[in-house]
């Protein structure tokens, strides 16, 4: 793709492409248990989905030392890796996502992902669902500051050769919407994820889609 040509749709992953809350909550429970902590509130865990792991755990343990945050983060990575390697991890696609991606590509959109997942986690997730080759740019928390910092979106724009005015960020959390606003990119929320539509609009969403079909129409 030549610089400045085409359009770019960047998707969040967890809560937007796939429903990953069960695996995330299970790994967080295991991580807290490994550090002799009471299990975290599941609603609070879901609220952190989309942030980098370290920032999510700091939010769940706001008055505890950074050394404990690092310890729990390491336990989470171990638990999540084990669930992935044993086949226990389930991250089902939301209905209509493959059809949406194909429809956008057919209309000339380039596709990307900006996620709080690790590189390994994202590649595994997309590969399991046969979606890896749909995307021209993949940005993760391994290489960028946590959302809502705009670094992931800025890198996606540069890699795809698309200007901010020709791009859209699609996600289910206020972090996605705030990241889009910080990068000067149009923000569109989805109703099937982890944050309330009113919160998405308050964070900068220009619209909130109820279904992938409605999202296709909005774009």
Could you give all domains of the chain from N- to C-terminal order, each with its CATH number?
A: 7-19+91-218 (3.40.50.1000), 21-86 (1.10.150)
> Could you read off the pLDDT tens digit of each residue along the chain, which spans 219 residues?
334 458 999 999 999 999 999 999 999 999 999 999 999 999 999 999 988 899 999 999 999 999 999 999 999 999 999 999 998 998 999 999 999 999 999 999 999 999 999 999 999 999 999 999 999 999 999 999 999 999 999 999 999 999 999 999 999 999 999 999 999 999 999 999 999 999 999 999 999 999 999 999 999
pLDDT value of position 185: 98
Spatial separation of the C-alpha atoms in residues 35 and 193, rounded to whole Å: 29
Question: pTM of the full predicted structure?
Answer: 0.90
Helix, strand, coil content of the chain in percent (nearest 5): 50, 15, 35
What sections of the chain are H helices per DSSP? 21-34, 42-48, 53-60, 66-86, 97-106, 119-128, 151-160, 174-183, 197-202, 212-218
Residues catalogued as catalytic: 12, 14
- For residue 129, the number of C-alpha atoms closer than 13 Å in the C-beta half-sphere is 24
Measured at the CA of 8, the angle between CA 149 and CA 168, to 5 degrees, comes to 55
pLDDT value of position 206: 97
- What tokens were used for 141? 């928390």
The strand order across the sheet containing 207-209 reads 137-139, 109-114, 7-11, 167-171, 186-190, 207-209
- For residue 58, the number of C-alpha atoms closer than 13 Å in the C-beta half-sphere is 10
């Amino acid at each position: 793709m030549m610089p400045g040509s085409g359009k770019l749709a960047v998707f969040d992953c967890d809560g937007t492409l796939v429903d990953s809350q069960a695996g995330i909550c299970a790994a967080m429970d295991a991580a807290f248990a490994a550090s002799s902590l009471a299990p975290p509130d599941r609603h609070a865990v879901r609220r952190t989905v989309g942030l980098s792991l370290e920032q999510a755990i700091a939010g769940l343990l706001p008055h505890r030392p950074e050394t404990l945050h690092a310890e729990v983060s390491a336990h989470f990575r171990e638990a999540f890796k084990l669930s992935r390697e044993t086949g226990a991890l389930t991250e089902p696609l939301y209905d209509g996502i493959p059809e949406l991606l194909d429809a956008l590509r057919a209309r000339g959109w380039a596709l990307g992902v900006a996620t709080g997942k690790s590189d390994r986690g994202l590649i595994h997730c997309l590969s399991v669902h046969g979606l890896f080759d749909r995307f021209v740019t993949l940005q993760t928390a391994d290489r960028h500051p946590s959302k809502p910092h705009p670094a992931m979106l800025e890198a996606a724009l540069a890699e795809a050769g698309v200007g901010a005015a020709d791009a859209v960020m699609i996600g289910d959390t206020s972090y996605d919407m705030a990241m889009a606003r910080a990068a000067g990119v149009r923000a569109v929320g989805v109703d099937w994820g982890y944050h309330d539509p009113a919160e998405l609009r308050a964070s900068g969403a220009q619209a909130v889609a109820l279904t992938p079909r409605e999202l296709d129409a909005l774009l």
